[in-house]
Chain A
Amino acid sequence: MFKFLLSRLVQVPITLLGLVTIIFIILRIMPGDPVNAYLRDMATPEAVAEMRVHFGLDKPLYAQFAQTLVGLFSGDLGRSFVSGRPVTEELLAVLPHTLALAAAALLMSSVLGIIAGIVAALRINRLTDYLVMTFSTLGVSIPVFWLGLILILGFAYKLDLFPVAGVTAQPSLIGQLHALVLPATSLGLLFMAVVARMTRASMAEVLELDFIRAVRAKGASEGLIIIKHALRNAMIPIVTVIAINSGLLIAGAVLTETVFARPGVGKLLVEAVMSADFPLVQSIVLFIGLVYILANLIVDILYAYLDPRIKIWR
């Protein structure tokens, strides 16, 4: 198992290297010239040449590629075309907002999704189960941005319970958490539906197993059976589905941040794409890829923890 983890750990930089290469190819070789794309009408030969030198784009492609690789490890990913500030600085400035949003959405949707899934599994093929499954099918079909707008319409405009937008306007922690409720809900619903569905399927399967009957015969309370025995054994597919779909959270954050006018990595990406700010696009995409790769690594470690048959430190 230790060997397995080690091999997975080695794969992380390989996958990352591949990702850097592909992004580099997509951004640099496919479209033509990033400087021309950025300058558009103002792309006089002098302006283009000056900007190339300024951003180190006059060097040959392989040198630029090497520079990107080195930069990736030293944390220096170049400067933004638009602001001229280091890309890392721009990214770190908005990262806490996105982390807060994603963490809130992940926590809320995992907890509620697992509870909904357990309830459905315990009442399988009955009304409660039917309602949870209907909700789940509906949940995966609602676009994040539209849900956000509907929540704003209902809870901010009509009921006036939550602020419409903006974490920046909220000075206190409570105020910021309050402003986080609607965005986190709209980002989390789709995820919750996915988790609920997987939990239901996995729990229903485990609850049919013999060892549950054995535990029940031992006289364990129903709550203990569900939490300690059934849920723990049902957790592996649930954790997998959470990790596989963590991409949905990242992708959803782009739309959520736009709808709620929150600063964040997603909004920064859209702005960077719109203004053809290629160093910024490149580093945000790399960052998102890294997060996703790490999420999957964490899952591999969690597997070992959840399944007692897999021993890590052997």
Chain B
Amino acid sequence: MKHSASSHSRLTLTEGVHSKQRNKLLLIRRNPRILIGLFVILGFLSCAVFAPWISPYDPFKMDLLNKYSQPSKEHLIGTDYIGRDILSRLIWGTRVSLYTSVLAISCAAAFGILLGVTAGFFGGKLDIIISRFIDIMLALPAFIMAIVLMGILGRGLLNMIIAIGLGMLPRLARVVRGSTLRAKENEFVEAARSFGYGDWRIIFRHIIPHSLNPVVVYATLLLGSAVMIEAGLSFLGLGVPPPTPTWGQMVSEGMDVMRDLPWISTTAGLFIVILVLGFNLLGDGLRDHLDPRLGGRVQG
């Protein structure tokens, strides 16, 4: 008797899991943007990981006799001003874009969650101070902040992650604060409190898991912004220093010869557009799926 009851409950449990998975698949099918976005991002991710194996040439190898060559069978998108293969440099450029954007947003999200949850959960003076701080930081566009910070810190990968992350931090913290305020009203928080759980246990076990959806959506959209900021900084000559290939710098290098060799800037820019589009499609899709309340609020 006992045995049959437990097997019965196991049965319904697995059924539940199955129908949940089917629901998820259905949602993705009904919302193809998530799938397209993931597809694009995975494509670029494999470019970044397998760059040494899939790029036809060494991205740093100069060939001064063969500079500014036209697209050909040997060099599909031609060569640049010192004869480096452009396609190879584009493939390697994926690394900087993905690396900076993902790391900058991850750091910004970690600190943003901490700040936002603290402000929203504890309220009072702490909330006033943190919210004021967020407001002040928001008075500067993330890109302007990044330009100034790069000027001070100097060019480099780590500095760029800091510069972009700091600009994104207040934007994420604001969203987290808002969703914490909503999550705090739930009855399970009161229940957890009645068990005698401490503040931080409630925050990490109940508040954060329940306010994560808008953060995930917003962070995904900000990944697109981060790629754009990284490309903009590199374009201005404030990004990762040469000879490391970056897309923004390649657009800038092609600018001088735009009239005669337009494919250099054009292809480098297309890579940026497609990656940003991938993040935006994924973010939009996730938003419709997870948090319809966010509406059309894009970027900062």
A interface residues with partner B (beta carbon < 8 Å): 14-16, 18-19, 22-23, 26-27, 30-31, 137-138, 140-146, 149-150, 152-153, 157, 194, 197-198, 200-202, 237, 241, 244-245, 247-248, 250-251, 254-255, 258-259, 269-270, 273-274, 276, 281, 285, 288-289, 292-293
Q: Is B110 an interface residue (CB 8 A)?
A: no
Is B147 a contact of A269 with CB atoms below 8 Å?
yes
Q: Is B242 an interface residue (CB 8 A)?
A: no
Q: Is B236 an interface residue (CB 8 A)?
A: yes
Residue on B with the closest CB to A292? B139
For the complex, give the distance between the alpha carbons of A109 and B273 in Å: 20
> Among residues 251 to 292 in chain B, which have CB atoms less than 8 Å away from a CB atom of chain A?
251, 254-255, 258-259, 262, 265-266, 269, 272-273, 276-277, 280-281, 284
For the complex, give the distance between the alpha carbons of A149 and B273 in Å: 14
Q: How many chain B residues have a CB neighbour from A under 8 Å?
A: 49
Listed residue (A143, A144, A273) with the most chain B CB atoms within 10 angstroms of its CB: A143
Is B266 a contact of A251 with CB atoms below 8 Å?
no
Main SS of chain A's interface residues? helix
For the complex, give the distance between the alpha carbons of A215 and B272 in Å: 47
* Contact of B273 (CB < 8 Å), options: A22, A23, A30, A142: A142
Is A143 a contact of B272 with CB atoms below 8 Å?
yes
For the complex, give the distance between the alpha carbons of A117 and B153 in Å: 42
B interface residues with partner A (beta carbon < 8 Å): 132-133, 135-137, 139-144, 147-153, 224, 228, 231-232, 235-238, 248, 251, 254-255, 258-259, 262, 265-266, 269, 272-273, 276-277, 280-281, 284, 295-300
For the complex, give the distance between the alpha carbons of A22 and B136 in Å: 8
For the complex, give the distance between the alpha carbons of A244 and B138 in Å: 10
Is A273 a contact of B150 with CB atoms below 8 Å?
yes
Is A143 a contact of B273 with CB atoms below 8 Å?
yes
Q: Say how far A197's CB is from chain B's closest CB, in angstroms.
A: 5
Chain A residues whose CB sits within 8 angstroms of the CB of B281 once the complex forms = 137
Q: Known pairs A15-B132, A274-B238, A292-B140. 11 more at Cβ < 8 A?
A: A19-B136, A19-B140, A26-B152, A140-B224, A143-B231, A149-B251, A157-B258, A245-B300, A258-B236, A276-B151, A285-B144
Q: Say how far A151's CB is from chain B's closest CB, in angstroms.
A: 11
Chain B residues whose CB sits within 8 angstroms of the CB of A194 once the complex forms = 296, 298-299
For the complex, give the distance between the alpha carbons of A22 and B248 in Å: 29
Is B153 a contact of A31 with CB atoms below 8 Å?
yes
Is A157 a contact of B259 with CB atoms below 8 Å?
yes
Is A143 a contact of B258 with CB atoms below 8 Å?
no
Residue on B with the closest CB to A144? B232
For the complex, give the distance between the alpha carbons of A152 and B262 in Å: 11
Q: Say how far B256's CB is from chain A's closest CB, in angstroms.
A: 11
For the complex, give the distance between the alpha carbons of A279 and B136 in Å: 20
Contacts A245-B298, A273-B150; A146 near B144 (Cβ below 8 A): no
Is B140 a contact of A201 with CB atoms below 8 Å?
no
The 9 closest A-B pairs by CB, nearest first: A146-B269, A247-B141, A273-B151, A251-B143, A18-B136, A141-B277, A141-B276, A251-B141, A289-B139
Is A143 a contact of B269 with CB atoms below 8 Å?
yes
* Contact of B152 (CB < 8 Å), options: A18, A31, A140, A149: A31
